[in-house]
Structure 1
């Protein structure tokens, strides 16, 4: 998210999370104030190889309830960050992003087990996220972790049937959330409210069905 009125309009749809990117190379880089949104929505700070001091500063400034680490952050970095965040009065989730295309070595995840709260699987591309296309979700049939994950990467209205199919698969028991971004944008950081409303209704209908 990037623009105040758009943030308020999307917050009215009651998503579980709203993300704010702090990465100068991103066209979605956030430099504004966040308007008041319902406490039920967890604000997420997204960082790429930022320093721990920078991450903690933004958590305190914006009252983030989750951080998404989208760079080459090591298990040691995550341990140090978690130790600092444990001193906060309210818990802050730590998500570690891993990019996938046609294959993935899930052994890479092992050093992060029992450290991060969730893994986020995004599509490997030229940019650090927001590439606009999905990776091959069948790769996740080899998922051998018990840490829940977030499914990301080029998810839009056209992926509704694919999501339904994925929900029927055994590995979906570890699915925590679905992350959407570029497929719902009018321009970087500006989301299409009508399309997101339709997407959320379709997902809710699926879950109820």
Structure 2
């Protein structure tokens, strides 16, 4: 049986963190981006990270953050992975990886096949690639917009590094997304929310159940 990795991103409360962990999430994402409705303070993040430590990998999601900010997150929160979800070039990813002695996940915005070429450059320095949908015009958020793209673009993608499918996933479409993309890891944020920034425990559990059903059926 395959075992698709699942990242529940943008968690803000102890109740939803507990729901994600109980449902078997492999990674949990904590958002450090003030413009996002999923933003958490360092104090909140420390509490949530302590709940997850040893149970799931802790991912600190950042957007074009300076090195001082990243240092504070690394020191206080102690994430397993730092996710760079902005316009950080490969050399910046390499610098963060070396300076903080940490794994890096780099988000790549996708709307067409040509966008995947960025993955080749980032795969040299990143430990994970996250292929997310390009944000709608006018959106201030680089991710978590609830939009998707053609999942078949990722089929048979070979970057020599693991990649994660993100963008518009929810309990109703994740099985089809896995089937079409061949992804072995998926990321969800807005697809398990009642409203922007407010996660729903039932939707989290439904998402996890759908992924495990896909694993069982070999989708």
TM range (shorter): 0.7 to 0.9
Equivalent residue, structure 2, for 1:138: 152
Instruction: Give the structure, 1 or 2, with the largest relative contact order (CA under 8 Å, sep 6 or more).
Output: 2
Please point out which of 52, 56, 62 is paired with 1:41.
56
TM-score w.r.t. length of structure 2:
0.82
CA offset at residue 198 of structure 1?
Answer: 2.0
Task: Give deviations 1:29-83, integer Å, cap 9, x for gaps.
Answer: 1112424324121111100000122112102211101111011111111111111
Equivalent residue, structure 2, for 1:104: 114
Mean Cα displacement is larger for which, 20-29 or 187-196? Answer: 187-196
CA offset at residue 9 of structure 1?
Answer: 3.0
CA offset at residue 142 of structure 1?
Answer: 7.1
Please point out which of 204, 208, 217 is paired with 1:200.
208
Q: d(CA) in 1 for partners of 2:17 and 2:176? A: 27
Alignment of 1:15-34 (within 5 A): 15-31=25-41, 32=44, 33-34=46-47
Mean Cα displacement is larger for which, 6-15 or 75-84? Answer: 6-15
SS in 2 for 1:122: strand
SS in 1 for 2:47: coil
Q: d(CA) in 2 for partners of 1:46 and 1:195? A: 21
Mean Cα displacement is larger for which, 4-13 or 22-31? Answer: 4-13
Task: Give deviations 1:87-125, integer Å, cap 9, x for gaps.
Answer: xxxxx3211101112443333233323310011011111
| Unpaired runs of at least 5, structure 2 | 1-10
> What is the CA RMSD across the aligned residues, in angstroms?
2.0
CA 1:81/1:176 → structure 2, altered by over 3 Å: closer, same or farther?
A: farther
Q: d(CA) in 2 for partners of 1:133 and 1:107? A: 21
CA 1:105/1:129 → structure 2, altered by over 3 Å: closer, same or farther?
A: closer
Alignment check: 8 A CA contact 2:143 2:167 kept = yes
Q: d(CA) in 2 for partners of 1:145 and 1:6? A: 33
Q: d(CA) in 1 for partners of 2:174 and 2:63? A: 29
Q: d(CA) in 2 for partners of 1:141 and 1:206? A: 17
Mean Cα displacement is larger for which, 29-38 or 50-59? Answer: 29-38
| Unpaired runs of at least 5, structure 1 | 87-91
Equivalent residue, structure 2, for 1:89: none
